[in-house]
Amino acid sequence: MAVLIEAEKLKARGIDVVDFGPGEPDFPTPEHIKRAAIRALEENRTKYTPTGGIMALREAVCEWHAKNLGSSYQPKECIVTSGGKLAIFNAISSLINPGDEVLIPAPYWVSYPDIVKLPGGTPKFVATLAIDKFCLRATDVEKAITPKTRLLIVNSPNNPTGAVIPRDEFARILEVCQRRGIWLLADECYSHFVYGSAKPFSIASLPGAKECVIIAGSLSKTFAMTGWRMGYALAPEPLVSAMIKLQSQTVSNVTSITQYAGLEALRGPMDSVGVMLTEYERRRARIVAGLRAIPGVDCTEPQGAFYVFPKVPGRGANGAGDSVQVTRELLEREHVAVVPGDAFGAPGHLRISYATSLERIEEGLRRLTRFFTASAA
Ligand SMILES: Cc1ncc(COP(=O)(O)O)c(C=O)c1O
């Protein structure tokens, strides 16, 4: 957010900033979804709804998840939330007591540690490595478990690394959670952005998984609906009931109009997802090649989501990393906005979003090349 504010200030002064910051699709919300929202307004669907979401929507979430990701949930095992973020927040606030430990693979999405700390939980980080394509390993999860561990958060495809956990490894991670009696919260925010021959996958599709799995889903990225605020959780009924209780004393319900738009998103055509994916795949190829061509920059090819997470030469002695300083200098000198890896628990890296046009990517690469070549000289 701090980077965004600085970038906005520069833009307001008329400066041409290449903005690699955004964590959201640069595509508009599909027309048929917008129309459904307008219809909801015209039909005066503007009143309170049930806390967990209108029943048709809870049904639609379960049907959509079953069809696209192979699960088998009932509406009573579903809560509609204000974005995937509130699904994660509600689940963690409902489950975690002071002193409980929550395993968070690093690099991680910035919000997890704070969401864990709010109910008194302790984040414990499990490292994933660039040489391993940042893939989480079941053996590392097992080593990190203590008697206080209550939950593991898995985000695949991952923000910021783009890592996608292979199905077999994910099954092994599930097996560890089942055997050691801990919950597995699967954040599926980027489920539909996977490249090559990979298909969207949910751990909830594996037999017997449901008892210890919590799915946090989001319409934000899949349907280019970040501002609408719609997500959901799928989990065992007692946990969903607790989450509904919590939600009834916070947001009450997701905006009624958003719920009708969400219903259309889930029941309507999904062509827009394929269009976005094809475009992201082209951009991914270009940005990875461009970054790899810069001396000193080390770039793992992301398997999903729309971010690259290169390791870059730092500003300290012998190039040691302070990516906050690199980020600051990049913005000041080249007017390129990125997010420092420190925010994700990975100093020395930058998160570069390719949810921006190929032309901007080309311009950004020119500036990044100039920046790192000049720094190396
Ligand atoms: C990994 C991850 N999970 C969850 C979210 C939450 O998204 P939303 O609350 O918009 O559904 C985001 C948003 O950037 C994310 O990157």
Query: Using one digit for the tens of pLDDT, what is the confidence trace for 152-199?
Result: 999 999 999 999 999 999 999 999 999 999 999 999 999 999 999 899
Q: What is the pLDDT of residue 322?
A: 77
In 296-357, alpha helices (H): 323-329
Q: Does the pLDDT at position 1 exceed 80?
A: no
Query: Residue 316: its pLDDT value, please?
Result: 60
CB atoms within 10 A of CB 166: 14
Distance between first and last Cα of the chain: 31
- Closest to 330 in 3D by CA, of 46, 6, 1: 6
Cβ atoms within 10 A of the Cβ of 119, count? 16
Q: How far is the CA of 85 from the centre of ligand 1 (A)?
A: 6
Which atom of ligand 1 is found nearest the CA of 84? 11
Separation between Cα atoms, residue 44 and residue 257, nearest integer Å: 9
Reading the block at residue 94, the tokens are: 């409902």
Residue appearing with tokens 């696209």: 68
Report pLDDT for 343: 86
From 1, 81, 109, the mutation candidate for ligand 1 (largest count of ligand atoms within 8 A of CB) is 109
Average pLDDT of the chain is: 95
CA distances from 172 to 156, 179, 181, 248 (A): 14, 10, 14, 36
C-alpha 326 – ligand 1 centre gap (Å): 25
What digits encode the pLDDT tens for the residues 198-239? Answer: 999 999 999 999 999 999 999 999 999 999 999 999 999 999
Peptide bond into 160 cis (omega under 30): yes
Number of Cβ within 10 Å of residue 45's Cβ equals 15
Going from the Cα of 68 to the center of ligand 1, the distance in angstroms, rounded, reads 19
Note whether 240 and 289 are within 8 A (CB).
no
- Please give the Cα distance from 252 to 254 (Å, whole number): 7
Instruction: Please calculate the CA angle 304-305-310 and round it to the nearest 5 degrees.
Output: 85
Do residues 235 and 71 touch, judged by C-beta distance below 8 A?
no
Nearest CA to ligand 1 atom 16: 159
Cα 222 to middle of ligand 1, angstroms: 11
Give the pTM.
0.95
Concatenate the DSSP letters of all residues of 85-124 into one string. HHHHHHHHHHH--TT-EEEEEES--THHHHHHHTTT-EEE
Number of C-beta neighbours around residue 8 at 10 A? 14
Two structure tokens written together for 17: 């900033």
User: What pLDDT is attached to residue 317?
Assistant: 52
Each residue of 106-121: pLDDT tens digit? 999 999 999 999 999 9
pLDDT band at 125 (very low <50, low <70, confident <90, very high): very high
Which ligand 1 atom sits nearest the alpha carbon of residue 109? 1
pLDDT digits over 296-335, tens only?
A: 999 999 999 999 999 998 766 545 457 888 999 999 999 9
Q: What is the dihedral of CA 68, 74, 80, 85, to 10 degrees?
A: -60
Could you tell which of 89, 214, 220 is best to mutate to test the pocket of ligand 1, judged by most ligand atoms within 8 Å of the CB? 220
Q: How far apart are CA 345 and CA 337, in angstroms?
A: 19
Q: What is the DSSP string of 229-288?
A: --EEEE--HHHHHHHHHHHHTTT-SS-HHHHHHHHHHHHS--HHHHHHHHHHHHHHHHHH
Q: Which residue of 79, 185, 218, 222 sits with most ligand 1 atoms within 8 Å of its CB, as the best mutation to test the pocket?
A: 218
Closest CA to 121 of 89, 144, 143: 89
